[in-house]
Amino acid sequence: MEHADLARWTPVRLDFSGAVPTVEWADLSEERFAEPFFEQTVTRWAAGPRARPVVRTGLDALRALDGEPSLEPAGMIFHLSRCGSTLVSRLLGTLPGVVVVAEPAPLNALLGLGPTRVDDARLAGLVRLVVRALGRCRHGDERQLVLKCTSWNVRRRAILAAAFPETPWVWVQRDPTRVLASLLAKPPGWLRLQTAPQQAAQRFGLDPAAVGAMTRPEFAARVLGSMLEGAATDPAGRLCVDYAELPAAVWQRVAPHFGIEVDAAAIDRMVAESRFYAKDPTPRAFTGDSPEQQAVSGAVRRAAQRFAEPGYRALSSHP
């Protein structure tokens, strides 16, 4: 298949395991990113009637197709995890013309590369190519792109800023004790890195010699602290939003920060959408904490207060 035939296709995987990196392209030309996460849209497509075999190319295809009509991000969402960021992206996705790409695997693959694999300047260039490919205009009604990053991506915030220096961003956070309780009850993938100290050191800046001796709450709390540190180092273009401000902050603060216009009808749609659980759209009001977040042990509370609370409070003092 020629590169030109992939103009409206979407990169869904980047593989750096072989001698030559490869890009997997999927024909999502008739799909909308309607699910809470990019991967869920890809999974739905792969199981549906419009699925086609993926096409594998080298990285050169990203460069060859970069002239195709694409959107650059109007805004980026970074977050502490389990803090309402998916609600933010879901509500923005209800707005006409707004395309939300949430936690795309190709971006994670790039940002997970260590400095021995690629230098920062080249990495920023590849990130720009991939995000523009994800923001390809496939339907003709797209006007603005919002990129929601995975929680640990904030540690590579400088790369994304180099790729898109004019793009404003939002940092969404929550009381670290509540976040930590949720993470320990339903562990995310990055929590497994405690068994891989060198990877934990690369991704979160932790001392690899000390990682193995940490308790699980301490490791998770230190990771949260490192994310908060990452959010604090680059205030340019940043808007801080707390879980307690949601959902109203989405239309009152986030949309204007991204230059996205909202009217009364748009706000009504967002209010209606906010009544559903963001990660699994079933009727469930966006109020209160889940049972696992309500039951917080002393060890969890102490770890959160020691390693994450200072960073959280510092960022809370900024608008």
Residue 278: the pLDDT is 73
pLDDT at 204 over 80: yes
Q: Report the alpha-carbon angle 222-224-230, nearest 5.
A: 105
In 3D space, the residue among 109, 128, 121 whose CA is nearest the CA of residue 70 turns out to be: 128
Asked whether 173 and 82 are in contact (CB, 8 A), the reply is no
Cα–chain center distance at 21: 23
Tokens of 181: 């309780």
276 residue type, one letter: F
- Report the mean per-residue pLDDT for the chain: 94
Residue 289: the pLDDT is 52
Tokens of 237: 């273009």
Asked whether 76 and 169 are in contact (CB, 8 A), the reply is yes
CA-CA distances (angstroms) from residue 236 to 74, 167, 317? Answer: 15, 10, 15
In 3D space, the residue among 23, 13, 10, 39 whose CA is nearest the CA of residue 133 turns out to be: 10
pLDDT at 16 over 70: yes
Query: Phi, psi (5° rounding) for residue 228?
Result: -65, -40
In 3D space, the residue among 237, 225, 226 whose CA is nearest the CA of residue 318 turns out to be: 237
pLDDT digits (tens, 9 = 90+) for 141-181: 999 999 999 999 999 999 999 999 999 999 999 999 999 99
Which of the four pLDDT bands, split at 50, 70 and 90, describes residue 279?
Answer: confident
pLDDT at 277 over 90: no
Residue 290: the pLDDT is 52
Mean pLDDT of 36-40: 97
Rg, Å, the chain Cα set: 19
Residue 319: the pLDDT is 80
- Report the C-alpha gap between 206 and 36 in whole angstroms: 31
CB atoms within 10 A of CB 119: 9
Residue 281: the pLDDT is 47
pLDDT digits (tens, 9 = 90+) for 220-242: 999 999 999 999 998 999 999 99
Cα–chain center distance at 111: 11
In 3D space, the residue among 177, 194, 204 whose CA is nearest the CA of residue 299 turns out to be: 177
pLDDT at 286 over 90: no
Residue 295: the pLDDT is 61
pLDDT digits (tens, 9 = 90+) for 39-78: 999 999 999 999 999 999 999 999 999 999 999 999 999 9
pLDDT at 280 over 80: no
Q: For domain 3-316, which architecture applies?
A: 3-Layer(aba) Sandwich (3.40)
